[in-house]
Amino acid sequence: MKLRIKAMVIAVCRVVLPAVVGAVALAGCNGGKTDLSDGGDRLDVAVSIEPLRYFVSAIGGDSVNISVVMPRGADPETFEPGVTAMKKMHSADVLLTTGLLPFEKRIESAGSESTLRFGVSDGVRLIYGTHDAAHHGHSAASGGETHAHGEADPHVWSSVENARVIAVNVVDALVSADPEHGGYYRERGRVLQARLDSLSGAWHQRVAPKAGDAFVVWHPALSYFARENGLRQIALNVDNKENSSLRLRDVIEEARSQGARTLFVAKGVNPAQTVTVAAELGVRPVEIDVMSSDWEEEMEKVVNAVAAPAH
């Protein structure tokens, strides 16, 4: 049973929340419930990956405890859930996944019978084929193909358009699992949508002049961002492994022919090849963490890099 929200605090939050956008607003009215410092009466929500924590935290506030199934540093496309992951599943009231990563299909059948399971990608216009070998190293206008050819790109959180859809799905999931506090979740969902609208306008204004430009990324993790902004993504590889010298040369030549001036890398991934590509293109690598729970900060890095004037 969840603790009840104090009526007076709810009233304050309903006045303050719609008037404020941003992370401060989302955190500021976390006090909409009574003291939950022990976490005993919160909804236990398990999310498959760190980026989903951002949305659940923003919408669930102090009404939820969040655990992440996949540990930081693991590769979501090769991760195999172990005992620790299964324990998180069994203690969860709710499980939220993208529904697109291989390990998610395995954990969706785990957990207790009472665990409610929801996919946050429902309603997202998916991109296909970016992780197939046939697309390795090739750019795609607007980020990829939108018809069902190959596997769906699982990095659905990498655009504001998709973030809006994810936020709606998270609200629906939390309300279904905890209808007693449905008003609280919906209110915070509206605040998050306002924040996403603000970010969308600001980011689009900055990136719009770069429409048609290409960027290089160590892995095709920004397909939805590319589509949303009319950019071209060139992936160094699809499996985070070292390319052959011939393949690397092909990628460099394509990037050069497309005039790519931005190189996104992940910390510790293919450092030698990163140095080679950066030197060949004459660019400074931009380190991003697409698996971070701080979705807004990481997307801001991407926008800053793409919008930066050419040197």
CATH number at residue 159: 3.40.50.1980
Residues 87 and 169 in one domain: yes
Question: Are 178 and 237 found together in one domain?
Answer: no
Residue for token digits 């929801």?
Answer: 118
- Rounded to whole angstroms, the Cα distance separating 158 from 169 reads 16
pLDDT of 143: 46
Question: 181 and 297 share a domain?
Answer: no
In a domain, 132, yes or no: no
Global pTM reads 0.83
What pLDDT score was predicted for residue 132? 66
172 and 217 fall within a common domain: no
Instruction: State which residues form the domain around 267.
Output: 209-306
Domain boundary among 202, 220, 240: 202
Q: How much is the pLDDT for 155?
A: 96
Residues 168 and 228 in one domain: no
Q: Classify the phi-psi angles of 129: left when phi > 0, otherwise alpha if psi is within -120 to 50, otherwise beta.
A: left
Which strand (E) or helix (H) includes residue 224? Answer: helix 223-229
Ranges assigned E (strand) in 132-280: 140-141, 214-217, 232-235, 263-265
Q: Looking at residue 245, what is its pLDDT?
A: 86
Give yes or no: residues 76 and 225 share one domain: no
Which residue's structure tokens are 């919160």? 42
pLDDT at 148: 53
Q: Which strand (E) or helix (H) includes residue 117?
A: strand 116-119
**What CA–CA distance (Å, rounded) separates 182 from 176?**
8
CB 128 within 8 A of CB 147: yes
Same domain, 193 and 278: no
CB 86 within 8 A of CB 67: no
Residue 93 dihedral angles phi and psi, to the nearest 5°: -80, -35
Q: Please tell me what DSSP assigns to residue 29.
A: T
* Chain centroid offset of residue 287 CA: 16
- Burial class of residue 194 (count of CB atoms within 10 Å of its CB; 0-12, 13-18, 19+): middle
Question: Do 46 and 81 belong to one domain?
Answer: yes
Same domain assignment for residues 114 and 239: no
Residue 40 is predicted with a pLDDT of 55
Low pLDDT (below 70) residues in the chain = 1-40, 132-149, 240-241, 311
Q: Number of folded domains in the chain?
A: 2
- The residue out of 175, 202, 229 marking a domain boundary is 202
**Calpha distance 39→62 (Å, rounded):** 9
